[in-house]
Structures are given as C-alpha cells and as structure tokens.
A and B are shown apart, each in its own frame.
Chain A
Amino acid sequence: MVDSQVILTIVVAALATMFTRFLPFLIFNGKKKIPDYVMYLGDRLPYAIIAMLIIYCLKDVSFNETANYLPNFIAIGVVAILHFWRKNTLLSIIGGTAVYMILVQVVFV
C-alpha cells in the first residue's frame, strides 16, 4: 500500500507543473498586449535558467572526495564535447550518462 503522502506529492507536482504552463495564457489571453519587459525576460531568462539548473544538479557534489566530484566533471566534459561536435542531443545524453555510470560503478568505487 502506497501511503497518501506519496500520492499527494505527485498530485502537487502535477498541479504545479500545469500552473507554470498555463500561467502566461491565463494572464495574457490575447486581448492585452504583453509588456515589453515581460517579452524581454521571456527571451533572456531561459538561457540563465538552464545554467542555473546545471548548478542545481551539482548542488550535492562534495569537493572533499575525488570519487564524488571527478566523475561529474569528466562526464559533463564528455557531454559538452559530444554536443559541440555532433549536436545530437540523444547521443550527448546517452554518451555522457554511460561514461558517468562506468565511472561511479567501475572506476571510482
């Protein structure tokens, strides 16, 4: 039996996700003109947020142990190089994740 907290957490995650997607359509329903500043942020923020999310993924990385940070940095390098080179999202993700899994399971154990 799954406890109700688990179900509620999923429901809240679903509602919060929907909220972020419906919000602009609810505020700017085509009648009002979208302010220039909002358009500007809409154009610029995605670049900053993706960068922010990379740091977010690394938030629990500890610099005290080589086995903790090195696999992350090597695998990020692999993803970046693969992506600069082939520009194939799937290849970059699979390649980087495979390298990371090998590093944490076999190399730095």
Chain B
Amino acid sequence: MCAGEFFSPVFIMKKTSLDIIKMAFVTSLPVLAAYIFLGMGFGVLMSERDYPVYLSFFSSIFVFAGTGQYLLVDLLVSKASLLHTAFMTLMVNARHTFYGISMINRYKDMGKYKPYMIFGLTDETYSLLCDENTYPEKKYAGLYCFFVTAFDHLYWITGCTLGAVLGSLLDFNSKGIDFSMTAIFVSVFVDQWLKEKNHYAAIVGLLVTLICLIIFGSGKFLIPAMILITALLTIPYAQEAKKNG
C-alpha cells in the first residue's frame, strides 16, 4: 500500500470496513455448514407435512431459532393452541435470555447494530461472539458482531429454504432426520462437559428433568423441572453467600 492511500481517511475507512466484514465471514464459516444442514432438516420436515416453501422461508427469517423451529413443526402438526405455542417456545428458548445477560456489557456500545444482534443471538452466534478477545478494535466491534450475526442468519435462511424446496421436489425417505435436534444438544452437552470442571448444573439438569418426566408425564414436566433446577442451583449460591456474610 502506498503512502497516499494510507493517509486518505475515506480509503482507510472503506478498506477497513471491508476487512472487518471479511474477518466476520471467516469467523462465521464453522456455522455455514451447520446451518445449511440443520436448516435443510427443518425445511424437509416442513415440506414433508405439506407446508408451502414460503412458510419455511419466513420462519427462518423471523423466528431464526434452530431448536425453536424444530419445535415449531411439532406444534404446527399437533395444532397446538397459541398459548401452548408461546409457552413452549419461551421454555425452549429461555436459555437465550441467559446468553443475553452475559452479552449486556459486550453489546453495550454497539448503538445502531445492537437491536439486530440481539434479535439474532442464536446458540451458534453466541458461541462465536461470547469471547470478547476475538473482537477487532473497539471502533469496529459493532460492525464485526453485526456481520457475524448477519452471515449466520443468511446461512440459516438458505438452509431452511433449500430444504423446503428439495423436500417438495424430491421424494426421499427423511424418516429420522429430526434426530439432528437431539444431536445438537448432545454435542453442546459434551462441549460444556469438557470445558467446565463443575458438573453440578449439568447433572442436576439431567436427573431433575428425568425424574419430572417420570412423575409428571411428557405433557407437563418442563415447568416443574425448570423450577426444581433453579431451586437446586440456588443452594450452592446461597451457601456461598452465607459463607461470605
């Protein structure tokens, strides 16, 4: 780069913004394949139930939640009430609230980019953006996070729509493809298990939910499970707080 270019402020701005977008693209690459594949799973499920392609397309734009959308297919097929839909979606996506809590400080100064980034804070986007050390310099952090979110969103829309189109054109046996939802959770579970030394929360989550499923049945075990989990997680916190006065 020659000195003239270097000192031209407009050029620096443009060049750097483009660099940030490229950097965001490289960061988003692991999600590319995952979202195309998982999105296709959703699209295929939708077309199998004879829902038109545009419903998959709009769901991927406005819902933009992997698990949430797999659940949505279940809710649509079973003709669930709107109240039940709202409740189940809130339960399944409640973890996003906790992602949000940990992003409050990180997203604090990101101004106009912020609403969209909050809208698009999926599990995968969170996993790409939860480490602040990977951000570029402060001035460009907002642009960077915005584009990582937008690339992920684009992959998701592409996957869901592609799956719906292929599912309606081709007649292949997709029985069992819904297992990909279970597979996502198991792989996240293993990830967390390897990263975290304290397994109390993970074990509480497994056992409490299992016991609640056995006691309350498959229709109403989630609320008691959530309450019991929160209570059991509060015990070590309360003990710690007591110790510290």
Contacts and interface: CB of A to CB of B under 8 A. Distances in A.
B92 A83 contact: no
B101 interface: yes
A90 B89 contact: no
A10 B62 contact: yes
Contacts of A2: 51-52, 55
B75 A13 contact: yes
A5 interface: yes
B187 A89 contact: yes
Contact of B30 (A11, A17, A89): A89
A30 B104 contact: yes
Q: Which A-B residue pairs are the 5 nearest by beta carbons?
A: A51-B205, A48-B205, A24-B100, A47-B201, A16-B89
Contacts of A8: 82
Interface of A: 2, 5-6, 8-25, 28, 30, 34, 36-60, 71-72, 75-76, 79-80, 83-84, 87, 89-90, 92-94, 96-97, 100-101, 103-105
Contact of B177 (A13, A58, A59, A101): A101
Contacts, number: 251
Interface string B77-100: 001101001100110111111111
A97 B69 CA distance: 18
A45 B230 contact: yes
Contact of A90 (B37, B64, B181): B37
Contacts of B98: 24, 41-42, 45-46, 49
Interface string B94-133: 1111111111100110000010001101000000000000
A94 to B, nearest CB: 6
B37 A25 contact: no
A97 B176 CA distance: 7
Contacts of A57: 181-182, 185
A49 B187 contact: no
A34 B121 CA distance: 20
A24 B94 contact: no
B93 A17 contact: yes
A60 B217 CA distance: 10
Interface stretch (B4-12, B18-26, B219-227): B219-227
30 contacts: A8-B82, A9-B75, A10-B59, A10-B76, A13-B68, A14-B63, A16-B90, A17-B63, A17-B64, A17-B93, A17-B96, A19-B90, A23-B97, A25-B100, A28-B101, A34-B104, A45-B201, A46-B192, A48-B204, A50-B185, A52-B229, A54-B186, A56-B209, A83-B187, A84-B190, A90-B33, A90-B34, A93-B187, A97-B41, A97-B176
A52 B225 contact: yes
A35 to B, nearest CB: 10
Contact of A55 (B76, B213, B237): B213
B107 to A, nearest CB: 7
A54 B206 contact: yes
B194 interface: yes
